[in-house]
Chain A
């Protein structure tokens, strides 16, 4: 659909693009339904089995990610459709958004389905380049500069990932994830490959200390693109990291490695939230908050790598840790998309996104302020939102496993998040100081943002079914028993 849309003139591009988005979303949800009924679906391409051929696998974990991408993607597409139509100048309609977004979506779906190191590389490249192209779509110098920084970081991350892939292929002769999991043996090569791949993927998901590219890139993009980047693109890299750590590198992970990743996550949580507090531009606040929320994802790794001597069966904190990770991914996707879309609505209404413009938002744009409020609550982690589920499960896993030192980071993060969310809400309720002209904004845009925010709450409802569904996949609820004393392999 992406290529088809390129053949049309500007207006046609948007129509074809939207149809493509709805089709893709529908098909993704149908696939999710199939996995719910049948269990893992495996498709062997061309009939060649691994190690010669590659196969696509959709197990419940992949299905959940694909489903989330579908729902959030459909809403962002609808928002983009109305957003571009509401722009006054035809040049602001950005017809190239649609082919690029469809490429991005295709890449993401391919990423979730891939079961093969090199396929993962190709799909994450497709995602990365489409994402950068989308980020620079507006053509403004801030966006171009931020986009170049993003592109360079993405290339560096890909090179690191490819190097690790090369080492793994050289040492085992296979790229398929399942075969690699069996064939890998602990050794210097494997550890170095793990290190390099992890660094590459952390660059791509803006994990501390490689987070520098995210705030400028996500804040200077146009509103639907910011939502896409924060909600979906960074999750792709996290998905690969999770799969590789749990399925492939089981033999050679040291306890210290998990702790190190968790430390990076904890610092990201505190640093990102702190930075968000000091910003004066709404989009920068939301972008820094993305860095922080992604840090929560990294914090589940130390819980998944068990200390030496602990068996996976007795570790009852694994299930909460996995639940926390999945819920954080989904809740953050919904909440962050909603926040960025709301920021876009505000920019459309007022012309800029300095937070003073939020004054008396409640009087003028009720639906948008409600969306910001609900999404903000999910980010903080107040019940009964999806964010609460995530952070509660994370704390449960932390305390059950005895690694109490992560708890202060989670709590401080929530506190700081509450700080900037309440700052926004206080301004929204404050009386206007000067006459701020709020231009009318199409209701449909506001409704999209609100529905996404509500989505971050509604995902708690099917929680039991979701967990049951996920537990049918082998990877969910698994832990790595580290047979090597922490520090012997020196991943530090």
Chain B
């Protein structure tokens, strides 16, 4: 498994994208003429949370790089 910080962060962002896409796809309901708004609300909330978490993770990664010059998790016992 990758140990590099950025690879892992990108992986979680992609995972998030997948989940949101699948959630939005549930907005298409056949009986209605318009799309179901609830998944839209859920996805917006989810995107906000995911963006904030990703930003936090990137800030942490950047700070670790500044302090130690490391770009990946070291193997610890």
Contact = CB atoms under 8 A, between A and B. Distances in A.
Contacts, number: 81
Contact of A152 (B12, B26, B67): B12
Interface in B20-77: 22-23, 25-26, 38-39, 42, 45-46, 49-50, 52-54, 56-57, 60-61, 63-64, 67-68, 70, 73-74, 76
Contacts of B38: 169, 175
Nearest to B25: A170
Contacts of A156: 12, 15
Interface in A149-202: 149, 151-152, 154-156, 158-159, 162-163, 165-167, 169-170, 175
Interface stretch (A128-136, A227-235, A346-354, A379-387): A128-136
A166 B26 contact: yes
Interface stretch (A140-148, A245-253, A259-267, A311-319): A140-148
A166 B60 contact: no
Given A122-B49, A166-B23, A169-B42, A151 B64 contact: no
Which residue, of A118, A141, A145, A170, has the highest number of chain B Cβ atoms within 10 A? A145
A158 B47 CA distance: 12
B76 A216 contact: yes
A118 B42 contact: yes
Contact of A169 (B39, B45, B61): B39
A137 to B, nearest CB: 12
B60 A159 contact: no
Which residue, of A118, A121, A144, A162, has the highest number of chain B Cβ atoms within 10 A? A162
A481 interface: no
Contacts of A167: 22
Nearest to B12: A155
Contact of A151 (B42, B56, B73): B56
Nearest to B45: A122
A155 B52 CA distance: 11
A149 B26 contact: no
Contacts of A145: 64, 70, 73-74
A360 interface: no
Nearest to A122: B45
Nearest to B38: A169
A166 B22 contact: yes
Given A118-B42, A162-B23, A163-B22, A129 B52 contact: yes
A144 B19 contact: no
Given A122-B49, A170-B26, A152 B16 contact: no
B60 A147 contact: yes
Contacts of A133: 56
Contact of B5 (A118, A136, A148, A159): A148
A148 B61 contact: yes
Contact of A141 (B54, B68, B76): B68
A118 B8 contact: no
A485 to B, nearest CB: 31
B53 A151 contact: yes
A125 interface: yes
Given A122-B45, A166-B23, A169-B42, A152 B57 contact: yes
A336 B27 CA distance: 45
Given A122-B45, A145-B64, A155-B57, A162 B19 contact: yes
Which residue, of B8, B50, B53, has the highest number of chain A Cβ atoms within 10 A? B53
Nearest to B52: A129
A159 B26 contact: no
A125 B54 CA distance: 13
A155 B53 contact: yes
Contacts of A165: 23, 42
A139 B28 CA distance: 46
B64 A148 contact: yes
A159 B12 contact: yes
A96 to B, nearest CB: 14
Contact of A162 (B26, B46, B68, B73): B46
B48 to A, nearest CB: 10
B57 A151 contact: yes
B67 A148 contact: no
A180 to B, nearest CB: 14
B56 A159 contact: no
B49 A144 contact: no
A123 to B, nearest CB: 11
Contacts of B19: 159, 162-163, 166
Interface of A: 118, 121-122, 125, 129, 132-133, 136, 141, 144-145, 147-149, 151-152, 154-156, 158-159, 162-163, 165-167, 169-170, 175, 216
The 3 closest A-B pairs by CB, nearest first: A170-B26, A166-B23, A148-B60
10 contacts: A132-B56, A144-B60, A148-B57, A152-B12, A155-B12, A155-B15, A158-B49, A162-B19, A166-B22, A216-B76
Given A125-B53, A155-B12, A163-B22, 14 more contacts: A121-B46, A136-B60, A144-B63, A145-B70, A152-B9, A152-B57, A155-B50, A155-B54, A156-B15, A162-B23, A165-B23, A166-B22, A166-B23, A169-B39
